[in-house]
Amino acid sequence: MSKVRKTNNALMLENFDIKNLSLQFPQQSVGVNVNRIYIQIAKYNQNPNRRTEVQILKRVLATAYNKKYIDSKYIVMTLEEVMQCFGEGLKILPKSTFIQYTSHFNLEQE
């Protein structure tokens, strides 16, 4: 399993093998840095071949706006969604992009 480091009340994944995890547990949730989601939308927005990814990212933001986010900096996404939206660039993303999401985190309600 991944090495985990605690930072700002969140567990940051040091060695996050997202490809392997997404194949085994596609519906498992992780926390994704909200800034990375906005950056990805900005990158894909003008590309008509990336409409599906943009729709997923916007839906995740809308869902988070209405009910669930982690530590106000991370939004919950499934590994399947992460692979679809970030797949090509996962290797170059900083470690702070993803945190481990577990049921013991209290999701803040708006």
pLDDT at 108 (0 to 100): 43
pLDDT at 48 (0 to 100): 93
List of long-range contacts for 80-86, beta carbons under 8 Å, 24+ apart:
80/22, 80/26, 80/27, 81/56, 82/18, 82/22, 82/30, 82/32, 83/18, 83/19, 83/22, 83/26, 84/52, 84/53, 84/56, 85/40, 85/53, 85/56, 85/57, 86/36, 86/40
The arithmetic mean of pLDDT across residues 46-56, rounded, is 94
pLDDT (tens digit per residue) in 64-88: 776 655 667 888 899 899 999 988 7
pTM assigned to the model: 0.71
Q: Which residue has the higher pLDDT, 2 or 88?
A: 88
How many percent of the chain have pLDDT more than 90?
A: 28
